[in-house]
Amino acid sequence: MEGRILITGAAGFIGFHLARRLLADGWVVSAIDNLNDYYDPGLKRDRLAQLEGHPAFQFQPLDLADRGGMRTLFAGPHFDVVVNLAAQAGVRHSLKAPHSYVDSNVVGFLNVLEGCRAQGVDHLLFASSSSVYGANNRLPYSVHDPVDHPVSLYAATKRAGELMAHSYAHLYGIPSTGLRFFTVYGPWGRPDMAYFSFTQKILAGQPIPVFNHGQMQRDYTYIDDIIEGVARLIPHAPEAQDIWPEDPASSAAPFCIQNIGNHTPVALTDFIHILEECLGKSAQIEWLPMQDGDVVATYADVTELQQSVGFAPDTPLRAGLQRFVTWYRQYYG
Ligand code: NAD
């Protein structure tokens, strides 16, 4: 499948990698991003610079929350597929800057949904997050688990996005897939995430802050596996399903949720040891208590992903971290 695709947040970590992959697959990629300074905008510009020479790539600086600008965007050429990755990300920051989360992840996402409705796109895929599972779920996290205990505003806005998309899928028949990503890491990654800032600090000989005294587990997922999962899901638009065929009002919306995670949780202390080995340098650790908004463990059940597209992430953490460290040394050389 190929055609014209809109990627929001294309200067971001996952958006950049997805744009690069889809250009190679033959898509015409339209891209937007507001290039905000939540983390180093220079890194975002450097990612975009890798894409901008490609003849099938078009970039426009635009904020999702700019209703007029979004309307104009969707009044232009038709998008076969939309992938919404633009968001205010980060669990801890949502305690400090709550409004930016609602502006981008709720109000901005509504503008994406309205655009998809106006255009009648074939498939909307949108980034959700493992954080929607909150603190009270059994492990591994299944897409069938209840998700009504968000423990951060970030998680609440991501869950709100899922519910909004579900309602638009039901009302307007927009086939939609929510992507619950699990702790994504790799080259061109996000400096606000622990693996990145730990690398900076260990190399600089500074202590790394380790919360909950290291009693945490994360399902670290390598970027190429995330991209493979998303690329395979693009042609798999969900279909509406009859619940009771005799009652036309009973059809279920063309909507589904997928976990994309490595289904191999790793203890934070083990993660630090592997990173130390990749860097060839020991960490100084500052042990700290649990932070508000955090969950103790994440672990993806990927049964549905495997059944839908015959793929699940499987890059071992050591191999993925080694590739990140190699990129890091080249980039910051
Ligand atoms: P990122 O911050 O690198 O990318 C997001 C991009 O969106 C940034 O370039 C930013 O400038 C842009 N953006 C933010 N608000 C915007 C707005 N209002 N209008 C236009 N552009 C805006 O983050 P990422 O790691 O690439 O994450 C992509 C998506 O995946 C996000 O929705 C995030 O919540 C989700 N997610 C990421 C992870 C992870 O571990 N990286 C895990 C779960 C979910």
State ipTM: 1.00
- Between the CA of 299 and the centroid of ligand 1 the distance, in Å, is 21
Top-confidence residue, 292 or 204: 204
Confidence of residue 293 (pLDDT cuts 50, 70, 90): confident
Q: Whose CA is nearest to atom 14 of ligand 1?
A: 87
CB atoms under 10 Å from CB of 169, counted, come to: 24
Whole-angstrom distance, CA of residue 293 vs CA of residue 131: 9
Residues 214, 220, 221, CA angle at the centre, nearest 5°? 175
- Between the CA of 112 and the centroid of ligand 1 the distance, in Å, is 14
3-state DSSP call for residue 218? strand
Nearest 5°: phi and psi at 130? -60, -20
Whole-angstrom distance, CA of residue 167 vs CA of residue 138: 27
Ligand 1 neighbourhood includes 108 CB (under 6 angstroms): yes
**Exposed, middle or buried, 319 (CB in 10 Å: 0-12/13-18/19+)?**
exposed
Predicted pLDDT of residue 245 = 64
What is the tens place of the pLDDT at every residue in 30-46? 999 999 999 999 999 99
Confidence of residue 241 (pLDDT cuts 50, 70, 90): confident
Catalytic residue (choose from 39, 141, 154, 222): 154
- Residues 6 or more apart whose Cβ sits within 8 Å of residue 90: 38, 154, 192
The answer to whether the CB of 94 falls within 8 A of the CB of 152 is yes
Predicted pLDDT of residue 250 = 62
Q: Whose CA is nearest to atom 2 of ligand 1?
A: 12
Confidence of residue 2 (pLDDT cuts 50, 70, 90): confident
Atom of ligand 1 nearest to the CA of 104: 18
Sign (positive or negative) of CA dihedral 230, 19, 133, 175: negative
Q: Domains in the chain, please, with CATH? A: 4-182+223-262+300-314 (3.40.50.720)
Q: How do strand 81-84 and strand 123-129 relate by DSSP bridges?
A: parallel
- Between the CA of 131 and the centroid of ligand 1 the distance, in Å, is 14
- Between the CA of 15 and the centroid of ligand 1 the distance, in Å, is 8
- Averaged confidence pLDDT in the chain: 95
**CA count, 13 A, side-chain hemisphere, 128:** 31
pLDDT at 81 > cutoff 80: yes
Top-confidence residue, 137 or 5: 5
What is the tens place of the pLDDT at every residue in 104-117? 999 999 999 999 99
Whole-angstrom distance, CA of residue 8 vs CA of residue 84: 5
Nearest 5°: phi and psi at 135? -95, -15
Ligand 1 neighbourhood includes 15 CB (under 6 angstroms): yes
pLDDT at 209 > cutoff 80: yes
The answer to whether the CB of 227 falls within 8 A of the CB of 24 is no
Nearest to 110 by CA among 54, 161, 151: 161
Nearest 5°: phi and psi at 287? -80, 130
Confidence of residue 190 (pLDDT cuts 50, 70, 90): very high
Nearest to 36 by CA among 57, 60, 12: 12
Nearest 5°: phi and psi at 260? -125, 100
Is 154 an annotated catalytic residue? yes
Whole-angstrom distance, CA of residue 78 vs CA of residue 276: 48
- Polymer length of the chain: 333
Q: What's the one-letter identity of residue 170?
A: H
